[in-house]
Structure 1
Amino acid sequence: MSRLSDLIRQAKAADSQLGADLEREFRALTKRRSFGLVFERHQPEAVELAGRPVRKGDKVHILPPRGSRSRGDQRLWAVTGFEGRGENRAAKLVEAGQVEEPESMVALVADLVVVAEFRDHIYPGLIETGRVERGGDKPFHTVINAENFHALEMLTYTHRHAIDAIYIDPPYNSGAKDWKYNNDYVESDDDYRHSKWLAMMERRLLIARELLNPADSVLIVTIDEKEYLRLGLLVEQMFPEARIQMVSSVINPGGASRTAAFTRVDEYIFFVKIGSAAPAKHSNDMLFTDASEPDENRSPIWRGMLRGGSGPLRGDSPSKFYPVLVDRKTGAVVGAGEPLPIGVDRATYTPPDGLDAVWPLKRGGVEGRWELNAATFEFRRSQGYVRAGDPNRRTGVRTIYYLRNAEMERLESGELISRGMNDRGFLDIDYNPERERTLPAKTVWNRQSHNATEYGSNLLKSFLPNRKFPYPKSLYAVEDTLRFFIDDKPNAIVLDFFSGSGTTAHAVMRLNKQDGGRRQCISVTNNEVSAEEQTRLRRQGLRPGDADWEKLGICDYITKPRITAAITGKTPEGEPITGDYKFTDEFPMAEGFEENAAFFTLTYEGPLSVAHHRAFARIAPMLWLRAGARGPIITEIGDKGWDLTNVYGVLDDLDTAARFVTEVKKTPGVAMVYIVTDDDLAFQMVCRELPKGVRPVQLYESYLRNFEINSGRFA
C-alpha cells in the first residue's frame, strides 16, 4: 500500500480530480478488515551488498558522490556489459523494471553497489575470515557476516529441521534508527513502520520454521512494548501447532522513563514451543532476585485438604463431605466417618469417644468438601500422608493437611526426604539438603543477574574496552533463558540470526563449561555501522565497502572480537580480561573457554560456476557446516580425487571411488560424504558401497535444487 500511496500522489500531480477519486476508493478499501493479523507486506526487501564484485546481469544502485550525506540515486539499474579497465572501468546500465523506453547510461564500477532483492534466486557460499581454536575436537561455533534473510536461506541447505533452539533479539522498532528496510532507516513518523516491521519479521520466521526440529525445539523472541502485541499475533498465525507463552522479565530495575507513562523496567520474551519442547524445572522459580531469595519461598510441602477453587461446596461433590476423626489428646488423625448424604445435618453425627470430628467448613460455617474421597483419604492416611494441625486458639478448629501427587513424586525422587513416621501417625518430611530443589519457573522473572546495564553493557566493556554497542543483553539472562530448553541437550545447535554483540554464543559457551557439553551456536550478523557513525564516515568521504568503513561494522568491530575475547580470555589488545563470571559458575574471565569458533562472510555465487565445480572453495564451508562443523574444512581436492577428515569426506573423481570407500570404512567417525557427479546411476553405485550409517549427498544436485526451490517461497 505504500507503493499505492506513491502512485496516488503522482496521479494527483497529473490530474487532481482523478487523484482524489482514487484516494477515496483506496481509503474505503483500507477500512475493510479480515480476521487475524492484517498488515501490508510491501514489496520484497532488497539489500545492498557492499564489497561484492559487480558482474554482468547484476542489479545495482549508483552511489552518491564521496562526502555526500544523501541517499543517492535509488533507481535500480541492470548491468548489461563493461568497458574500460582499472580505475576507469565502467558498467553499461539500463534502468531495471522499465518495459517502455528504459533509460540507459554508463557509470564507473567504483560508484556502483550490487543490490539483491529477496525474491531473486541466490546461490550462497562462505569465505572464512578467521578462527580461534581452544576446544580440541569440539564443534565450532560459527559467526556469519551476512544479510540475515540470505543467511537463513543458506542454512536451509545445511540445517533444515536440525536446530534445537532459536534465540533472537530483533529490532524493537523504536523509531530511533534501529533498523533498515530496503536500505533506509525506518523513522518513527513512517506511516507503514509497523507493517514494514511485521513484513521483515514474517519473511525471516518463515525460514526459521523450516530450520527448527519439528519434534522438539523452541523459538525464543525478546521484544518490548512497542511491538509485543503484533509479534504475539504473528507467531500465533505462523506456528498454529505450537504452544506459545510470554514471560515478563525485569532487565532494568532502575527503570527507563517514558513521556507521560509508567517507568518501564521489563521486556517480554515469547517462547514458541514446538513438538515435545517444554521448559525444564530448575532450582529457582525466577520470580525472586538472586540476592534476596529466602528458603521460605519454596513451595509448602503440606497443603490444606479443604477444597478451594471450582466446585468447592458440599453439593458439588457429596461423597467428599465426611468427618475426619482426630484424637483429642494426641492430635493424631485416626480415620474418617462415612460421607453424609445431602439433607442430613452434620449435627446428627456423634464421633466416637475421645475423638473430634473435623468437617470441611469454609469461612462463616459454609459447608464445603474435601479434596479427597473417603477411600483415597484412608489410603493416604495409612501411608502417613495426612496430618492435623493444632487447634485454632480462637475457634478450636483444626486444619487437615495432606500430600498432593506432586509432593508424593518429589518424595519418591529424593527431592523431599522422610525421617519416618512420628508419634502422631504422619511422616516427618523436609527438603533434602543434599538435593538441589527443582521448581517450575514463573511467568515474571526478577533476577539481579538479568540487569542489562550491569551484565550487558558493563560486562561487554570488560571484553572490548573503549568499544560501544547499544543495549546488549545480560549474558546471564540469555544463559538462563536457553537453559530451560537445552540443559538436557549437550549437543544442541542454537541459532541467533539477529546476533549483534554475540551474547547468545557467549551464553552457550557458559552452558558448555557448566556440564561439559558440546553445544554449538550459529550467529548471524551484518557489518553495518550505526546511523551516527555513518554520518561521520560519510563526511570523511568514506562509503560502505571501504576498508576504513567496514572495520567499524558490527561483525568486525564487535561480534567477532567479543567471541574471540570470551574464548581466549584476552581483549583485542592482548590484555587479560579483568573480573570474574558470577552466579551459576564463578571463575575468572581471563581463563576463557575451551571452545572453537570460525568466522565467515556470505558470498553470492553463479549457478553455472557451482554446477561446473568452479566455486568449490566457497561451497566447502557449507559442506563442513552440514556435516557438523567439526575438524578441518576440506577446501580443495588434491590429485587423488578425494579427501577425507574424521567427520566427513568429498569424492570428486568417481574413478577413485573404490579407494575412497575403503578409507571411509577405516574411519569410523565419518557420518557424511559428498559425491560430485551429475550421473544419478553412478551416484547410486557409490552409495551401495558405503558403510551403513554414512549419509551420502550428491553434489551439486542437492545444492542447486535446494536454492531453486527456495526462490520466492520466503520473499
Structure 2
Amino acid sequence: MTGFAGKGSDRVAHLVEVGQDEPRNTTTALVADLVIVAEFRDDIYPGLIETGRVEHGGDKPFHTVINAENFHALEMLTYTHRHAIDAIYIDPPYNKGSFRDWKYNNLYVEADDDYRHSKWLAMMERRLLVAAELLNPADSVLIVTIDELEVHRLGLLLEQLFPEARVQMVSSIINPKGVSTNGGFRRADEYIFFVMFGSSHPARLTLAPEWSPSPRGAMAEAPDPEDAREVEPEWTSMMRRGSNSRRVDRPTMFYPIYADPDTKRIVEVGEAIPAGTSEAPPKEGLVAILPLRRNGSEGRWQVGADELRSRMAQGRVRLGRATAYGFVVNYLPDGAYADVQSGKYEVRGRADDGSLLAYRADLGDDRVAPTQWKIQSHNASEYGSTLISDILPGRRFDFPKSLYAVEDTIRFFVQDKPTAVVLDFFSGSGTTAHAVMRLNKQDGGQRQCISVTNNEVSADEQGALSAEGLRPGDPDWEKWGVCDHITKPRIKAAITGKTPDGDPLRGAYKFTDEFPMAEGFEENAAFFTLTYEGPLSVAHHRAFARVAPMLWLRAGARGPIITEIGDKGWDLTDVYGVLDDLDTAARFVTEVKKTPGVAMVYIVTDDDLAFQMVCRELPKGVRPVQLYESYLRNFEINSGRFA
C-alpha cells in the first residue's frame, strides 16, 4: 500500500505488491473494503473454523474440505501432514486467458498479458515446492493434469523442481468429438503428468480391452510372458466396516474365533461374549481372535457365529496376516464365491486349513496401462458436467473432470494402500474426494481426501453482485462461491445420496462399480475455513479453538475434535488427547494407558523439562507433541515464503 486518495467513504487505497521483481502488480481498492489482518511485518499463523460436517461412515476417518487460498492451506498442512501424503492429484487452471480461468494477485490474467506464462509458472512453482514437503519421499506420487497451452512449460518445471523423481506423461482423450480451436485441429485430449517419488510406480491392474492401444483379438500383440500368471478370487476381511460396525450395533456378532498359531488354522468358533467384558474364554494352545480394531475399539464380525461355521464348511474362510490381536480373518463374499461356483475359477481342492484353492488364468489382463488412454468413462462432458448437474440440480461448474477418469488415475497408485491420504489443492468441484469415496467402496478401504478450494465467484457473478452493493464476506456474496455453492454440497450429496434440497439422487454410478447414487457412501466429511491468528493469541492459549482442528487433522482426522479443555485440565478421545494443566498429568497419563487407540497427545507447556517428564510416563507408541512450541516453529505465514 503506497497511499490514499479521496475523503471519507470514498477514500481509495493504492496497492502495490511487495517482494516481487519489476514490473510490480498494482491495483486500487476502497479503503472501506480493506480489512487489517496484521500490522506490517507481524507474524500470522493459521487456524481452522469448522463450518459443518456429515457423518455416515462410523469410525472411518473424515474427508476434509478447506476453504482457503491454496498456498496458505499448503503452508498449514506442513504442520499436520509433512511427509504423510501418499498421492496429490491436481487440476490447476490451464491459463487460457480469454476464458478468465484464473487469478494472480487477485486480478484475472488475460490472454494479452505479456507476463502471462511467467505468472502461471511462478504461481505453480510456489505451490509445488510446498506440496513436495507433504509427500512421503519413500513412496508417493504427484499427478497434474494440463492441456497444450502450458504442457511444455509444466513438464520442464517438474523436471527442474524434482530431479530425484521419475516423471512420465500420459495423453488422455476427454472429449472424443473434440473442441474447435482457433485455426487448428479439434482438441480431444489433455495430458497427465505423473511425478513418482521413491518406490512409487503404477500398479498392475485388471484392465478392460479399451485400455489397450490396439483391440484384443487376432491382430493384437501376444501378452507379455511376465503377464501370464494365476490369480485367486478376492478374499476380504471378516471385520465389519462403515456404518453399524460397532459391537453395540450387533452384540451377537462379537464372538471369538479360535486359531492354532502354529498351523494358522481356525479350530473353533465361540459364542457371543456377554456385555460388560471383552475377554474370550481361554482355550489351551489356541489364540482367541476378537473383532477389535487397530485402535483397540470394539467392532463386530460381518456374520454371526452359525453363519461363519457354515462358510467354513464351504471353504470360504481362512486366516490372513498376524496382528496384535491374533490374525486377520478373511472370507470369500457372496459375489466372489458365486464366481468360483460358476466355473470362472478352477477349484483344485482345499488348503491345509480347509479353505478353497481356486485360481484362474490371468491371460495378461493384469498389466500396466499404456501412455495413451481412450476410455469411454473418461468423457468429461458426460461424466463430469452432466454428473454434477444430476447431483446438484440447477448448479453449474465449468470444466469438471470425469469422476471415473480421476478414479482410474488415482487407483494406479493407491490400489494397495487402503489407508492412503490423497490431497487435491485445486479441488474445484470436489471430484477427487468423490473418486476416493468410490475407491473405498470398491475394496472396503479407509482412504481419506483433503480438498482445498477457495470461495471465489465467477467474473460475471462478481459484476452482478457488486452492482447490488455486495462485497466479499457478505453472506449473499459468499453463498455463490465455488466452495459453498459447489464443493461442499457435492461431497455432502455424494455421501448422503440426496440433493441439497433433500431429494434422492437420480441415476446410477457406472463402470467399475454400478449402484444407485441414492445409496450414498459410508463416509464422513468435515468442512473448514482457514483463519489467521496472531502469535500472542496462540502462545497464550487464546486461539486453541481455531488450532484444535489442526491437532485433530494431524492425529488422523478421526472421531470428534477436542475444541476446548474443561476444568479437569485435559481431554481425550479414542484417537488423541490434549493436556493443558500439567498438575493433572498423572490422571491424564492413566487415562491414556486405558485407551489403547490413542496414538498422539499434545502437551501445552513452554517448559521443556516438564514436557520431557510427561513424555517418560506415556505408554510406548504414543507420540507426544509440545504445544505451542512445535506449532510456532513450524511456520510463520508472514515469514517471506508466504505469497
Q: Specify the TM-score bucket, using the shorter chain as the normaliser.
A: 0.7 to 0.9
Following superposition, the deviation at residue 554 of structure 1 comes to 0.4
Structure 1 residue 658 corresponds to structure 2 residue 617: no
Aligned equivalent of 2:555, options 624, 627, 640: 627
Aligned equivalent of 2:493, options 565, 569, 586: 565
What is the alpha-carbon distance in structure 2 between the residues aligned to residue 173 and residue 293 of structure 1? 36
Distance 1:446 1:460, change over 3 A: same
Q: How does 1:261-300 map to 2 (within 5 A)?
A: 261-284=184-207, 288=211, 299-300=221-222
SS at the partner of 1:586? Answer: coil
Following superposition, the deviation at residue 260 of structure 1 comes to 1.1
Question: What CA deviation, in whole Å up to 9, does each residue of 1:381-439 have, x standing for no partner?
Answer: xxxxxxxxxxxxxxxxxxxxxxx4x25xx2466799999xxxxxxxxxxx946889302
Instruction: Give TM-score scaled by structure 2 length.
Output: 0.75
Distance 1:576 1:252, change over 3 A: same
Question: What CA deviation, in whole Å up to 9, does each residue of 1:674-708 have, x standing for no partner?
Answer: 00000000000000000000000000000000014
> Is the 8 Å Cα contact of residues 407 and 435 (structure 2) preserved in structure 1?
yes
Following superposition, the deviation at residue 73 of structure 1 comes to 3.9
> Is the 8 Å Cα contact of residues 92 and 145 (structure 2) preserved in structure 1?
yes
What is the alpha-carbon distance in structure 1 between the residues aligned to residue 573 and residue 599 of structure 2? 10
What is the alpha-carbon distance in structure 2 between the residues aligned to residue 604 and residue 247 of structure 1? 39
> Is the 8 Å Cα contact of residues 170 and 222 (structure 1) preserved in structure 2?
yes
Following superposition, the deviation at residue 299 of structure 1 comes to 4.8
Aligned equivalent of 1:244, options 167, 170, 175: 167
What is the alpha-carbon distance in structure 1 between the residues aligned to residue 206 and residue 135 of structure 2? 28
> Is the 8 Å Cα contact of residues 225 and 267 (structure 1) preserved in structure 2?
yes
**In structure 1, what residue type is equivalent to 2:15?**
R
Following superposition, the deviation at residue 113 of structure 1 comes to 3.4
> Is the 8 Å Cα contact of residues 207 and 714 (structure 1) preserved in structure 2?
no
Following superposition, the deviation at residue 294 of structure 1 comes to 5.1
Q: How does 1:92-103 map to 2 (within 5 A)?
A: none
Give 2:510's aligned residue. Answer: 582
What is the alpha-carbon distance in structure 1 between the residues aligned to residue 413 and residue 41 of structure 2? 34
What is the alpha-carbon distance in structure 1 between the residues aligned to residue 519 and residue 395 of structure 2? 22
Give 2:71's aligned residue. Answer: 149
> Is the 8 Å Cα contact of residues 671 and 695 (structure 1) preserved in structure 2?
yes
What is the alpha-carbon distance in structure 1 between the residues aligned to residue 346 and residue 30 of structure 2? 83
What is the alpha-carbon distance in structure 2 between the residues aligned to residue 242 and residue 285 of structure 1? 29
Question: What CA deviation, in whole Å up to 9, does each residue of 1:88-111 have, x standing for no partner?
Answer: xxxxxxxx99xxxxxxxxx99753
**In structure 2, what residue type is equivalent to 1:487?**
Q
Give 2:60's aligned residue. Answer: 138
What is the alpha-carbon distance in structure 1 between the residues aligned to residue 398 and residue 3 of structure 2? 29
What is the alpha-carbon distance in structure 1 between the residues aligned to residue 561 and residue 437 of structure 2? 22
Give 2:387's aligned residue. Answer: 459
Which structure's CA Rg is the greater one? Answer: 1
What is the alpha-carbon distance in structure 1 between the residues aligned to residue 535 and residue 616 of structure 2? 29
Structure 1 residue 159 corresponds to structure 2 residue 81: yes
Give 2:617's aligned residue. Answer: 689
Aligned equivalent of 1:488, options 409, 416, 426: 416
What is the alpha-carbon distance in structure 1 between the residues aligned to residue 42 and residue 162 of structure 2? 26
Distance 1:119 1:529, change over 3 A: farther
Following superposition, the deviation at residue 713 of structure 1 comes to 4.0
Q: How does 1:308-707 map to 2 (within 5 A)?
A: 404=225, 406=226, 410-411=228-229, 432=360, 437-707=365-635
Distance 1:136 1:598, change over 3 A: same
> Is the 8 Å Cα contact of residues 286 and 444 (structure 1) preserved in structure 2?
no
Distance 1:249 1:286, change over 3 A: farther
Distance 1:521 1:710, change over 3 A: farther
Structure 1 residue 170 corresponds to structure 2 residue 96: no
Question: What CA deviation, in whole Å up to 9, does each residue of 1:127-149 have, x standing for no partner?
Answer: 00000000000000000000000
**In structure 2, what residue type is equivalent to 1:539?**
A
> Is the 8 Å Cα contact of residues 577 and 598 (structure 2) preserved in structure 1?
yes
Distance 1:64 1:666, change over 3 A: farther
Aligned equivalent of 2:110, options 187, 192, 200: 187
Following superposition, the deviation at residue 122 of structure 1 comes to 3.2
What is the alpha-carbon distance in structure 1 between the residues aligned to residue 485 and residue 559 of structure 2? 27
**In structure 1, what residue type is equivalent to 2:47?**
G
Following superposition, the deviation at residue 637 of structure 1 comes to 0.2
Question: What CA deviation, in whole Å up to 9, does each residue of 1:477-528 have, x standing for no partner?
Answer: 0000000000100000000000000000000000000000000000000000
**In structure 1, what residue type is equivalent to 2:52?**
G
Following superposition, the deviation at residue 112 of structure 1 comes to 2.1
What is the alpha-carbon distance in structure 1 between the residues aligned to residue 193 and residue 540 of structure 2? 45
SS at the partner of 2:205? Answer: coil
Structure 1: gaps spanning 5 or more residues: 1-58, 78-95, 98-106, 304-403, 420-430
What is the alpha-carbon distance in structure 2 between the residues aligned to residue 252 and residue 120 of structure 1? 49
Task: Tell me which moved more, 433-442 or 271-280.
Answer: 433-442
Distance 1:563 1:286, change over 3 A: farther
Aligned pairs, number: 512
What is the alpha-carbon distance in structure 1 between the residues aligned to residue 405 and residue 38 of structure 2? 36
Question: What CA deviation, in whole Å up to 9, does each residue of 1:429-488 have, x standing for no partner?
Answer: xx9468893021000000000000000000000110000000000000000000000010
Aligned equivalent of 1:253, options 176, 182, 199: 176
Aligned equivalent of 2:146, options 202, 223, 236: 223
Distance 1:63 1:685, change over 3 A: farther
> Is the 8 Å Cα contact of residues 151 and 602 (structure 1) preserved in structure 2?
yes
**In structure 1, what residue type is equivalent to 2:531?**
T
What is the alpha-carbon distance in structure 1 between the residues aligned to residue 72 and residue 483 of structure 2? 16
**In structure 2, what residue type is equivalent to 1:165?**
A
SS at the partner of 2:455? Answer: coil
Following superposition, the deviation at residue 117 of structure 1 comes to 12
> Is the 8 Å Cα contact of residues 456 and 474 (structure 1) preserved in structure 2?
yes
What is the alpha-carbon distance in structure 1 between the residues aligned to residue 471 and residue 3 of structure 2? 13
Following superposition, the deviation at residue 76 of structure 1 comes to 5.8
Give 2:301's aligned residue. Answer: none
Following superposition, the deviation at residue 541 of structure 1 comes to 1.4
SS at the partner of 1:533? Answer: helix
Distance 1:418 1:548, change over 3 A: closer
> Is the 8 Å Cα contact of residues 60 and 113 (structure 1) preserved in structure 2?
no
Following superposition, the deviation at residue 532 of structure 1 comes to 1.1
**In structure 1, what residue type is equivalent to 2:468?**
Q
Distance 1:418 1:562, change over 3 A: closer
> Is the 8 Å Cα contact of residues 246 and 443 (structure 1) preserved in structure 2?
yes
What is the alpha-carbon distance in structure 1 between the residues aligned to residue 149 and residue 100 of structure 2? 14
Aligned equivalent of 1:128, options 28, 47, 50: 50
Question: What CA deviation, in whole Å up to 9, does each residue of 1:270-297 have, x standing for no partner?
Answer: 000000000001122785499x965668
What is the alpha-carbon distance in structure 2 between the residues aligned to residue 120 and residue 265 of structure 1? 49
What is the alpha-carbon distance in structure 1 between the residues aligned to residue 209 and residue 468 of structure 2? 49
**In structure 2, what residue type is equivalent to 1:663?**
E
> Is the 8 Å Cα contact of residues 83 and 135 (structure 2) preserved in structure 1?
yes
Q: Percent identity?
A: 76
What is the alpha-carbon distance in structure 1 between the residues aligned to residue 5 and residue 364 of structure 2? 61
What is the alpha-carbon distance in structure 2 between the residues aligned to residue 519 and residue 184 of structure 1? 36
What is the alpha-carbon distance in structure 1 between the residues aligned to residue 412 and residue 40 of structure 2? 35
> Is the 8 Å Cα contact of residues 576 and 590 (structure 1) preserved in structure 2?
yes
Question: What CA deviation, in whole Å up to 9, does each residue of 1:279-334 have, x standing for no partner?
Answer: 001122785499x9656687525x8xxxxxxxxxxxxxxxxxxxxxxxxxxxxxxx
Two-structure CA RMSD over aligned residues (Å)? 3.2
> Is the 8 Å Cα contact of residues 247 and 268 (structure 1) preserved in structure 2?
yes
Instruction: Give TM-score scaled by structure 1 length.
Output: 0.67
Task: Tell me which moved more, 628-637 or 544-553.
Answer: 544-553
Q: How does 1:29-108 map to 2 (within 5 A)?
A: 73-75=13-15
